[in-house]
């Protein structure tokens, strides 16, 4: 079965399709608006207020974006900690999505903060580090992890460089590849440690807003809930990405492997749901879950999405159906994303005088960043050996 998977290879030829051109246009619009945001300031560019100082950019780009970027983390857990080596071929594409997700998140933060030109002080001024600050932990871990992801991907770039026609590049690649391979296990271990720390940390963040957080979400379990759900979302993202690239690039999807990921999602979602439900019971909030007010309805939708995903993943037969697996993963991502939006925007209640809904500029900047991410991904898999599996033409033969 080992030989069933081809070595990763670059996918030539599908760059500037119509949808990629459309995405590029959206990315350019986002880019222009980002420049505008720095010219007019946050007050005019966004709908943010002193009541809702964090909005769409934090809730989606950073908190949800990094969770969607947990594919690399989730698959690495599966491959290395659970020793399921057969999932290794999906690791590299998963790492690419993760690297993009995290880089975009880090970039978004620079748009969101008011004084980004001082951001370099966070990693550098260690003598000022406030070791009680969860945000410091999250910031340092996200910065470090974005770097770790690109280092983990570096072999892909160097493998390509080895075949370069420029002799200097070729020699550099040949000199550095062995060094990198020696260092990689240590870097890859960081690649498991850092997400464990900061994904739970993202949940811990709002624990400090405790007095103003709606009781349905205000629990000491926030870190564990964020951690478990991000792993499930990571698997979901890998399935969706594999299914999409299979369709768009005309490659045969690795059904057995994706079905396996579908199987891996179930226990993780179950753990998440158990913690969430037991927590609501223990904290005596379970009645409020069915109060059918705005908060209860949103929570129930969260639960509905996740139970829906579980229902679609129940049997092996279902998990081997790519369309079904895709829908389940989509429900899972929506459920996880909604949970994050609920915690950061809905559960957070600064008082009756405040309201927040993202304005057009905020939305277009977020859309632009996501578009840029997808375009970047397409370009990268075209240029470098990322995707394993086989082109459909080879299969059809």
Partner 1 sequence: MGISRRDALKVMVGAGGATLAAAATPGQANAAAVVARPDAVAMLYDATRCIGCKACMVACSKANHLEPDPGWSQGLYQAPADLNGKTKNIIKLYQEPGGAYSFVKRQCMHCLDPACTSACMLGALKKGDRGVVSYNPDLCIGCRYCTMVCPFNVPRFEWDSLAPKIVKCEFCKERLAEGKLPGCCEVCPTGAVIFGKYTDLLAEAHWRLDAHPGRYVPKVYGESEVGGTQVLYLAHVDFAKLGLPAYGPDPVPTAVREVFQEIYQGLVPPIALYALLAAVMMRSRRLVTGEGPEQEAEEP
**Near partner 1 in 115-134, by CB under 8 A:** 115-116, 118-119, 121-122, 125, 128-130, 132-134
Considering only the stretches 85-93, 248-256, 258-266, 315-323, report the one whose residues sit in contact with partner 1 under the rule CB under 8 A: 85-93
Q: Which of residues 350-369 bind partner 1 (CB under 8 A)?
A: 350-351, 353
> Whole-angstrom Cα distance, residue 285 to residue 64?
25
Residue 181 within binding range of partner 1, rule CB under 8 A:
yes
Give the residue with the Cβ less far from partner 1, 134 or 364.
134
- Residue 21 CB, nearest distance to partner 1 (Å)? 33
- How far is C-alpha 111 from the chain's CA centre? 19
Residue holding tokens 């995903």? 309
Q: Which of 295, 348, 356, 377 binds partner 1 (CB under 8 A)?
A: 348
- Residue 80 CB, nearest distance to partner 1 (Å)? 6
> Whole-angstrom Cα distance, residue 126 to residue 143?
14
- Residue 179 CB, nearest distance to partner 1 (Å)? 11
Give the residue with the Cβ less far from partner 1, 119 or 383.
119
- Residue 397 CB, nearest distance to partner 1 (Å)? 24
Q: Which of 2, 35, 317, 397 binds partner 1 (CB under 8 A)?
A: 2
Q: Which of residues 15-74 bind partner 1 (CB under 8 A)?
A: 38, 41-44, 48-51, 53-54
> Whole-angstrom Cα distance, residue 133 to residue 26?
36
Give the residue with the Cβ less far from partner 1, 135 or 367.
135
Give the residue with the Cβ less far from partner 1, 132 or 317.
132
Q: Which of residues 202-261 bind partner 1 (CB under 8 A)?
A: 204-212, 219-221, 223-224, 227
Q: Which of residues 282-301 bind partner 1 (CB under 8 A)?
A: 282
Q: Which of 10, 20, 84, 296 binds partner 1 (CB under 8 A)?
A: 84
Give the residue with the Cβ less far from partner 1, 84 or 170.
84
Q: What is the phi/psi pair of residue 163, to 5°?
A: -100, 10
Give the residue with the Cβ less far from partner 1, 166 or 352.
352
Considering only the stretches 23-31, 86-94, 160-168, 321-329, report the one whose residues sit in contact with partner 1 under the rule CB under 8 A: 86-94
- Residue 32 CB, nearest distance to partner 1 (Å)? 18
Residue holding tokens 């037969």? 317
Considering only the stretches 161-169, 194-202, 238-246, 262-270, report the one whose residues sit in contact with partner 1 under the rule CB under 8 A: 194-202
Q: Are 137 and 203 in contact (CB under 8 A)?
A: no
Q: Which of residues 99-118 bind partner 1 (CB under 8 A)?
A: 109, 112-116, 118
Considering only the stretches 303-311, 335-343, 347-355, 374-382, report the one whose residues sit in contact with partner 1 under the rule CB under 8 A: 347-355
Give the residue with the Cβ less far from partner 1, 5 or 252.
5
**Number of residues lying near partner 1 (CB under 8 A):** 81
Q: Which of residues 140-169 bind partner 1 (CB under 8 A)?
A: 155
Q: Which residues pair with 260 in a beta bridge?
A: none
Q: Are 386 and 92 in contact (CB under 8 A)?
A: yes
Q: Which of 223, 215, 232 is nearest to 307 (CA)?
A: 232
């Amino acid at each position: 079965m080992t030989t069933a998977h081809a070595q990763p290879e670059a996918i030539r030829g599908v760059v500037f399709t119509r949808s990629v051109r459309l995405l590029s246009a959206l990315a350019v619009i986002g880019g222009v608006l980002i420049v505008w945001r720095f010219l007019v300031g946050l007050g005019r560019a966004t709908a943010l207020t002193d009541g809702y100082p964090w909005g769409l950019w934090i809730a989606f780009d950073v908190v949800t974006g990094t969770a969607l970027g947990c594919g690399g983390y989730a698959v690495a857990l599966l491959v290395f900690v659970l020793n399921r080596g057969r999932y290794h071929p999906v690791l590299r594409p998963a790492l690419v999505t993760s690297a993009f997700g995290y880089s975009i998140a880090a970039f978004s933060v620079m748009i969101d903060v008011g004084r980004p030109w001082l951001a370099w002080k966070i990693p550098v001024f260690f003598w000022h580090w406030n070791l009680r600050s969860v945000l410091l932990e999250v910031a340092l871990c996200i910065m470090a992890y974005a770097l770790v992801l690109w280092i983990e991907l570096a072999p892909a770039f160097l493998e390509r460089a080895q075949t370069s026609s420029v002799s200097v590049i070729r020699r550099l690649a040949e000199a550095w590849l062995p060094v990198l391979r020696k260092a990689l296990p240590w870097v890859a271990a960081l690649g498991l440690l850092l997400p464990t720390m900061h994904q739970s940390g993202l949940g811990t963040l709002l624990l400090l807003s405790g007095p103003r957080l709606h009781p349905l979400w205000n629990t000491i379990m926030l870190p564990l809930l964020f951690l478990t759900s991000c792993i499930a979302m990571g698997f979901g993202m890998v399935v969706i990405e594999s299914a999409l690239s299979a369709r768009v690039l005309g490659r045969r999807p690795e059904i057995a492997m994706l079905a396996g990921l579908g199987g891996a999602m179930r226990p993780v979602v179950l753990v998440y749901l158990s913690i969430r439900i037991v927590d609501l019971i223990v904290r005596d909030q379970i009645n409020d879950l069915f109060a059918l007010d705005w908060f209860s309805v949103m929570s129930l939708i969260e639960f509905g999405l996740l139970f829906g995903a579980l229902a679609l993943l129940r049997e092996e037969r279902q998990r081997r159906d790519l369309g079904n697996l895709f829908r389940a993963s989509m429900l899972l991502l929506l459920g996880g994303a909604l949970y994050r939006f609920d915690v950061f925007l809905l559960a957070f209640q600064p008082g009756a005088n405040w309201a927040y809904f993202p304005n057009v500029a905020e939305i277009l900047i977020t859309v632009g960043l996501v578009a840029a991410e997808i375009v970047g991904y397409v370009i990268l898999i075209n240029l470098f050996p990322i995707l394993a599996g086989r082109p459909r033409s080879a299969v059809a033969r």
